Amino acid sequence: MTAAASTTATKPARRGWAFLAPTILPGFGTAFGFTLAYLCLIVLIPLGHMALRAADVGWDRFWAITLAPRVLHAFFVSFGCALAAALINAVFGLVVAWVLVRYRFPGRRLIDAMVDLPFALPTSVAGIALTAIYAPNGWIGALAKAAGFKIAFTPLGIVIALVFVGMPFIVRTVEPVLQDLDAEVEEAAASLGATRWQTFTKVLLPTILPALITGVALAFARGVGEYGSVIFIAGNIPAVSEIVPLLIVARLEQYDYAGATVIATAMMGVSFLMLLGINFLQRWTRSRHAR
């Protein structure tokens, strides 16, 4: 998602509309044609087909399915837990990124490499591992039980799983911005009498904020759709800890294709709006930092 710099040195020779800027390099037709065909076959046609199937259901039934109390509650759980996890990650992810960029200490490289573990670890493995830890008989679950509350098999368990899944998004989005921070700005703030906390909130945070928001949005979007790491720890109690993806799977297992399609399309619609938001945020970030 880096800025796409203009790569060809040649300028269009003639004015007016041209699909392809003049070039001497061969292979555009083949590469572009293959890319487009593969994209259509694997992604666009199947997704478009799903939207058509949802449209077949008709408006009335679409809303009847989407607005059913159990489905609405699942939407509430999915989006609520994903938002909570993304905000928790915003705080701790920023601390992790800060520590990794600013400080040198033994084991820093190891920790840096481990941050990507949630990207590399299969979600079902993460799911059963987190459940083993946070179930009432697990290492941390037992502590919670002694303190009088439950983590696994409640929405709290879902938040835990989504914190795990979303953490690298925040760290990896914020890290490059922290690396690019100009030390002079901080020095200027300090020499003008700002306390360290003032420098952080008034000078550093506004610079980091766009990237932080982007990371939060990415983690949020991932969390909403997450399935594997959540279903084990969630307990999947209807109207308590049932997430939207699980509901889709349940409808499919009952051969209720219409129900599954409608719920999936509604979720895609919301995800699409979030994608637009992320793109907008990235553009805003970029324009603010254009030098």
Complex with another protein: residue 158 or 244, whichever CB lies closer: 244
| Contact by Cβ (8 Å): 141, 134 | yes
Question: Per CB under 8 A, does 96 bind another protein?
Answer: yes
Which single residue is written with the structure tokens 């983590």?
Answer: 151
Among 130, 156, 158, 170, which residue interacts with another protein (rule: CB under 8 A)? 130
Q: How far apart are CA 123 and CA 137, in angstroms?
A: 22
Stretch that binds another protein, among 67-75, 141-149, 179-187, 205-213 (CB under 8 A): 179-187
Min dist CB 277 to another protein, Å, is 11
Among 57, 77, 118, 234, which residue interacts with another protein (rule: CB under 8 A)? 118
Min dist CB 253 to another protein, Å, is 9
Residues binding another protein: what is the number (CB under 8 A)? 107
Among 63, 76, 139, 284, which residue interacts with another protein (rule: CB under 8 A)? 139
Complex with another protein: residue 68 or 228, whichever CB lies closer: 228
| Contact by Cβ (8 Å): 224, 86 | no
Largest CA distance in the chain: 77
Question: Per CB under 8 A, does 121 bind another protein?
Answer: yes
Question: What does the block give as tokens for 108?
Answer: 């820093």
Among 214, 241, 261, 282, which residue interacts with another protein (rule: CB under 8 A)? 261
Complex with another protein: residue 87 or 99, whichever CB lies closer: 99
Please tell me whether residue 81 adopts helix, strand or coil conformation. helix
Question: Per CB under 8 A, does 140 bind another protein?
Answer: yes
Question: Per CB under 8 A, does 191 bind another protein?
Answer: yes
Please tell me whether residue 153 adopts helix, strand or coil conformation. coil
Question: Per CB under 8 A, does 24 bind another protein?
Answer: yes
DSSP string, 102-141: H---TTHHHHHHHTTHHHHS-HHHHHHHHHHHHSTTSHHH
Where in 156-175 is the site for another protein (CB under 8 A)?
163-164, 167-168, 172
166-205 in b/e form (b: 16+ CB < 10 A) is bbbbbbbbbbebbeeeeeeebeebeeeebeeeebeeebbe
Question: What does the block give as tokens for 91?
Answer: 């705080």
Question: What does the block give as tokens for 58?
Answer: 């008709």
Among 65, 115, 159, 234, which residue interacts with another protein (rule: CB under 8 A)? 115
| Backbone dihedral angles phi then psi of residue 154, each to the nearest 5 degrees | -135, 170
Min dist CB 45 to another protein, Å, is 8
Among 225, 236, 277, 281, which residue interacts with another protein (rule: CB under 8 A)? 225
Min dist CB 8 to another protein, Å, is 5
Q: How far apart are CA 75 and CA 54, in angstroms?
A: 18
Question: Per CB under 8 A, does 126 bind another protein?
Answer: yes
Question: Per CB under 8 A, does 105 bind another protein?
Answer: yes
Question: Per CB under 8 A, does 124 bind another protein?
Answer: yes
